[in-house]
Structure 1
Amino acid sequence: MHLIVDSGSTKSDWVLLKDSSNESFNTMGLNPFFHSEETVYKAIAENLNLFGYRDEVTHLFFYGAGCSSEKLNQIIHGGLSKVFRKAEIVVDHDLKACAFATYENEPAISCIIGTGSNSCFFDGENVIEEVPALGYILGDEGSGAYFGKKLVANYLYHRLPKRISDALKNDVKLTKEEIVRRVYMEPNANVYLASFMKFIFEHSDDAFIKEMICKGFKEFVEVHVCCYQDYKNYKVHFIGSIAYLFKDQLSDACDFYNVKMGQVIRKPIDGLISYHLDQMNA
């Protein structure tokens, strides 16, 4: 059996390719920047249905956020191999999954905008990353972590409209102490910051929030799309929950830079499955 995995920093989608049908599973996101081999093992073991196939999987393809070097990939590989002992395991970058899932038999720029953000150029054979992903502290423009950071910073600076500030204070019960603790003293600060996207989406009609989203997407396109030579000549595809939920605002940012928007997909897993099935049947 073949097991295909797409893992962001927040959650992972697992699909087992079976003869008659596919079976799907979910676990926490597994990112080697933040998680150990043991964490990978425990995350899988906690999903008893997935864990039950541990001796039946023969090929496992894991595409994940943070899987950008041999050293980092080995962390994920080590955890997976403790569970799927009979499987041939391949660990690769989530950018490659993004490229495979959006490929339309022509060169294109493929982007991820979810908890974090990144982009690549894919010609059908080579995945080219023009600028690096710098993570939620230095980069991740236009991502959930980016917008969450903007929101809580403006909340603490008393720069939010009263309606938004009151909602964070009274409904979310947000305090400076909690923000500092979750961002600076606990793991997975990027996931915590991205969790504010639910609040941002619910208040997306507010002028301040609209402007924040607009600026963030323009910054993403400027940094991660306009960096490619002749970018105006290629379709630009997007994958990720933030790109999907704020598609109209993202489209406006693309129009601003004369970018040809292509597919906007919430999850790459379906396209990734199709790609692997094509490869298996080739």
Structure 2
Amino acid sequence: MIIVESGGTKSTWVFNSTPNTIQSFETVGLHPQESTLDKEKILQSLVEEHNIQGREIYFYGAGCESVEAKVKITAFLESLGLRVRAVQTDIYAACLAHFGHKKGSVGIIGTGAVAAKFDGEKVVQQTSGLGYLIGDEGSGFDIGKRLLKKYFQNELPLNVKESIENYFNHQSILHRIHEPDGRMHIAGLAKIARKFSKEPPVHSVLISAFTDFCKFALNPLGVSSSVHFIGSVAFYFQAELTEALEKEGYTVGEIKKEAVFEVFNFLSSESPA
């Protein structure tokens, strides 16, 4: 059995190499709208390297809400010689990782951002997740975009400005972010936000981003219990996320960097011996 959790930036593959040994590797993100021949070649090589052709695979990814997206991912994985058992959203994986068959509310904050309620079997309500162009408040992309705005408005300390310029190799930032992979470069600025999170202008970016996550993702859910989280941004900005949510009246539950290992263990326990 192979479990894959895929976000906008990377995907993590977990599988048994022997009955008692779990292996994993990370590779490019597999978004339905961004599956390319280059990605297929990379993954084909990894599938062969790890000798997992013909294995059953459960895929949980960003952008997999529609039937069309599921069909596209299924075809992509089958082209790698894998037997697809399920294609579900990454939010469903987050729910399984935290709750198993119990109820709860969860948020994913990574390259993108989304929140949902889970009834123990299925996602019954989902909010935000409008994508980086008009939504995803609190996400890595959103944080990067807000940081760039402050850069261009000359509202950042010199050390932060220099780090951003170094990140872009002193090239034209506006030109670079409008190239095909510009979204990933903007999301990557979250690493600079983490490094300088104590600088007041950067801290205000983080708090405003997570406050907007409450406004657009959590408030519509009507959450009355703790909110649990999955995602690298939620994990690395736990202090700022907690600060913003508590100001908005929410209680932060457990925060996991990724769901894939918990899902692997859960599905393994569900499988017949």
Same fold (TM over 0.5): yes
Between the aligned partners of 2:78 and 2:109, the Cα distance in structure 1 is 29
Between the aligned partners of 1:166 and 1:83, the Cα distance in structure 2 is 43
Instruction: Compute the displacement of 1:271 (Å).
Output: 1.3
Task: Flag the 1:51–1:45 CA change in 2: closer, same or farther, 3 A.
Answer: farther
Instruction: Compute the displacement of 1:281 (Å).
Output: 4.1
Between the aligned partners of 2:6 and 2:271, the Cα distance in structure 1 is 22
Map of 1:12 onto structure 2:
11
Q: Which of 176, 183, 194 is the aligned partner of 2:177?
A: 183
Question: TM-score, normalising length from structure 2?
Answer: 0.92
- Encode CA deviations 1:189-223: one digit per residue, 9 max, x unaligned: 33211111111111111011111101111110221
Unaligned runs of 5+ residues in structure 2 are: none
Map of 2:186 onto structure 1:
193
Task: Flag the 1:267–1:8 CA change in 2: closer, same or farther, 3 A.
Answer: same
Instruction: Compute the displacement of 1:67 (Å).
Output: 0.9
- Write out aligned runs for 1:25-174 (5 A): 25-36=25-36, 38-47=37-46, 50=49, 52-55=51-54, 57=55, 59-85=56-82, 87-103=83-99, 106-169=102-165, 171-173=166-168
- Encode CA deviations 1:16-60: one digit per residue, 9 max, x unaligned: 134122121221111012224x455223123255552213x1x21
Q: Is the 8 A contact 1:81 1:89 kept in 2?
A: no
Task: Flag the 1:184–1:129 CA change in 2: closer, same or farther, 3 A.
Answer: farther
- Write out aligned runs for 1:181-260 (5 A): 181-187=175-181, 189-229=182-222, 231-232=223-224, 234-260=225-251
DSSP-derived class of the 1:137 partner: coil
Instruction: Compute the displacement of 1:251 (Å).
Output: 0.9
Unaligned runs of 5+ residues in structure 1 are: none
Q: Is the 8 A contact 2:127 2:220 kept in 1?
A: yes
* Percent identity between the two aligned chains: 27
Q: What is the identity, as a one-letter code, of the residue corresponding to 1:64?
A: G
Q: Is the 8 A contact 1:235 1:259 kept in 2?
A: yes
Instruction: Compute the displacement of 1:144 (Å).
Output: 0.6
Between the aligned partners of 1:23 and 1:167, the Cα distance in structure 2 is 35
Which segment is superposed worse, 113-122 or 17-26? 17-26
Q: Is the 8 A contact 1:115 1:190 kept in 2?
A: no
Between the aligned partners of 2:23 and 2:162, the Cα distance in structure 1 is 44
Q: Is the 8 A contact 1:45 1:51 kept in 2?
A: no
Instruction: Compute the displacement of 1:180 (Å).
Output: 2.8
Between the aligned partners of 1:23 and 1:136, the Cα distance in structure 2 is 32
Task: Flag the 1:185–1:88 CA change in 2: closer, same or farther, 3 A.
Answer: closer
Instruction: Compute the displacement of 1:7 (Å).
Output: 0.6
Q: CA RMSD in A?
A: 2.0
- Encode CA deviations 1:204-249: one digit per residue, 9 max, x unaligned: 11011111101111110221112113x12x2210011111111111
Which segment is superposed worse, 244-253 or 152-161? 152-161
Instruction: Compute the displacement of 1:14 (Å).
Output: 0.5
Between the aligned partners of 2:168 and 2:85, the Cα distance in structure 1 is 44
